Every structure is written in structure tokens, then in C-alpha cells.
Chains A and B, each alone.
Chain A
Amino acid sequence: DGGITQSPKYLFRKEGQNVTLSCEQNLNHDAMYWYRQDPGQGLRLIYYSQIVNDFQKGDIAEGYSVSREKKESFPLTVTSAQKNPTAFYLCASSLGGGALEQFFGPGTRLTVL
């Protein structure tokens, strides 16, 4: 089955800790994205990557970091610098540029204790 997976589904973190969210796709898509969703809100773009070994900041990149060493993987690290990290995180991919249809993973719900 082709698709995009995220793990874990639920994640708990203590304040001051860094945590990494996994995102993997086997759709052979060039572009990948990380979004944050807060209750009752739309999606806000954190980081995106249009090609391996390249990525750009989105609208709310502060306190987050990413890497894109492999085409199929785009992990997101939530650092201790992110002041309000509790949220639902969604990863997506698309065949090419950002204007195309995006395929989403099931999401990771991060809670800071």
C-alpha cells in the first residue's frame, strides 16, 4: 500500500525535552511538509522540503527543526525552544510543488506535561 505514515500517534513530553516526530512516505513524492493544528484552527505550515537535502521555513518555524536526508523521510524535532508545543502535528507530501494535491499522514498528537 502506498501512503504516508507518522509515528507515534500519541507523544508525551516533559518541559525542556526535545522530541522527534517521524514521517515516512512511499509515494515517491519529492515534496514534504509539516503542519501544526491547534483546536478549532486551520493548519499552519512549520517547514517544507521540495527536494532531498533542502528545506525551507514555513510560517511558524521557530522552536522546530527538520532534516531531509532521504526522499522518503522528513522527521520533525520539536525543541525546548518551542514555547507552546502541545498540538496535533500533520505531515504531508505532494508529487511536486506546493500547489499540487497533498497527501496527509494520520497525525501525531503531542502533549507537554
Chain B
Amino acid sequence: SQQGEEDPQALSIQEGENATMNCSYKTSINNLQWYRQNSGRGLVHLILIRSNEREKHSGRLRVTLDTSKKSSSLLITASRAADTASYFCATSTGANSKLTFGKGITLSVRP
């Protein structure tokens, strides 16, 4: 079964609005990562948050992690049409473990 599951499956917003995407997981993690994938392309790493961190920022991205609820959220502020993509969370359960990816969220930002 998937370790990370994103919610919602699809999200459509207007340019300039904020987009919030959620990821839930089942077992304890070492870290959680978010990736972006443009249609037909490879994934691009966005941000990594460790299990002892609660929040990280990178430009317009803000990621939170709540280990008590086994969940994370990715917030994209002031969205742009170029943010249209699929977003995946991936979890790692140990320093040398594999990454397990969720099924992804399709974000559409309307100009």
C-alpha cells in the first residue's frame, strides 16, 4: 500500500490564489519530500522536511509537518499559471531507506 497519500486528487484555482495540498502517511518517517512533475517530464525536487522539523519555507512554498497526525501540507502562495503540474509527496522511513511516493495531486492554475 502507498505510504503517502495526497489530498485532494485534483485542484483547480485562479492565478493569484493560494493552493494547499495535503499528504498523509501511515508509519513513522525520517523525512518527507515534495516533488513537482510537469506533464510528460521527470520530477523536480521542491523541498525536504525532516521528522524533527515542523515548518520550512522556500520562496513561495511553505511546507508543514505534523508527526502526531502523520500529515504534511504544501502551500503555494500567489499561484501562477506556470505552477500547473502534478505534485507528489514522498516519504522515507530511515536514512538508507527508499522513498515511497504517493499518487500525486494535479494542480491547474487558470490564468
Contact = CB atoms under 8 A, between A and B. Distances in A.
A99 B30 contact: yes
Interface residues of A, number: 27
A99 B2 contact: no
A99 B88 contact: no
Contacts of B40: 88, 107, 109
Nearest to B44: A104
A93 B46 CA distance: 15
B108 interface: no
Nearest to B93: A99
A102 B90 CA distance: 11
Interface in A24-66: 33, 35, 40-45, 48, 50, 58
14 contacts: A33-B98, A40-B103, A97-B95, A98-B92, A98-B97, A99-B92, A99-B95, A99-B97, A101-B33, A102-B99, A103-B45, A104-B35, A107-B40, A107-B42
Given A4-B42, A6-B42, A99-B99, 18 more contacts: A33-B98, A42-B88, A42-B104, A43-B43, A43-B88, A44-B101, A58-B98, A88-B40, A90-B43, A97-B95, A98-B96, A98-B97, A98-B99, A99-B97, A101-B33, A104-B42, A104-B44, A107-B41
